[in-house]
Amino acid sequence: ARSFGERLPGAFWWGIAVALMGFVFGAAATSFSATLAQLSPDTLQIFEAMFPNIDLTSGAGAFLQLGFLTFALILAGFAASTLVGGWASDETDGRLEMLLATPMSRVRWAVHGGLGLYAAVGVFTLIVMIGIGIGSSISGGDVTTPIVGTLVIGLYSLALCGIGMAVGGVFRTSWAGEVVALLVIVTFLVDLVVPAMQWPEALHQLALTSHLGHPMVGLWDGPGMALCAALAVGGLLLGAWGIARRDVQR
C-alpha cells in the first residue's frame, strides 16, 4: 500500500499527459477520415500498400494506431522509468534500512513494492483508456476497439518495469530507472531506423515494440503479449531473488 501510494501521483500525471494526447488524436480522427475521402484512388492505394494490415476507414482506431501509438509507447516507457526509479529510491535514499528494522525481509519489500508499482501502472493505463475513449467517441465509429487496445500500452509498461526491477535486484537499484530509459530510447531508434534503412528483419525483431501488433484496430500479437507478461512476472521474481542475495546469512 505504501509503494502504491508513493507511485500513484507520478502514475496519475503521466496518465493525464498520455490521455490528453490520446484525446486529441481520437477527436482528430474525423478530419483524418475526411482527408482520406478526398484522396484520389491511386493515392489511397499507396496508403493501403504502406499499411496493409490496417483498415484506414475504421475511424478513430486507424488514426490512433498510425499517429498516436508510437508516441504513447515512448511516453509510457519514460513513465515506467520514473516509476521504477521511485521503487528503487527506497534503497538509494536510505528508506529501506528503516523498513528492514520492522518485521520485513528484503524479498517481501521487493515483491510487495513491485506489486504496488504494477498497481500504479494499472491506474496509469486506466486514465489513458478514459482519454482515448472520450476522444474516440467524439469522432464516432468503433470506440471499444481502441479503448481495449490501450491495454497494450499498460502491458508494455509492465514489461519495462519488470526489466527495471530485474536490473535493480541483480545489479544495482540505482541503475533500474536509467536502464529502462535507455532501453526506451534504443527501442525507438531500432523501430524507426531499421525498417527505413531496410536492414535485416531479425534486427527489427529485437525491439519489443515490434511485437505489439496493431491493437488500436483490433490486431493483437499473441506471442508479443505473452512476452510482455513474462517480462513483467519474471522481472519481479528475478529482482526479488537478486535483492534476497543481499541479506546477511546468519
pTM for the full predicted model? 0.87
What mean pLDDT comes out for the span 118-123?
96
What percent of the chain clears pLDDT 90, i.e. is strictly above it?
42
pLDDT for 223 beyond 80: yes
81 vs 90, more confident: 81
Helices within the chain (DSSP H only):
2-27, 29-38, 41-50, 60-63, 69-92, 95-100, 106-139, 144-149, 151-170, 176-197, 201-204, 222-244
What mean pLDDT comes out for the span 98-115?
80
For the chain, the maximum distance between any two Cα atoms, rounded to a whole number of angstroms, is: 77
What is the structure's pLDDT at 244?
83
> Rounded mean pLDDT of the chain?
85
Q: Which of 26-40, 184-198, 203-217 has the lowest mean pLDDT?
A: 26-40
CA dist 222 and 219 (Å) reads 9
What mean pLDDT comes out for the span 136-147?
82
What is the structure's pLDDT at 166?
94
pLDDT for 178 beyond 90: yes
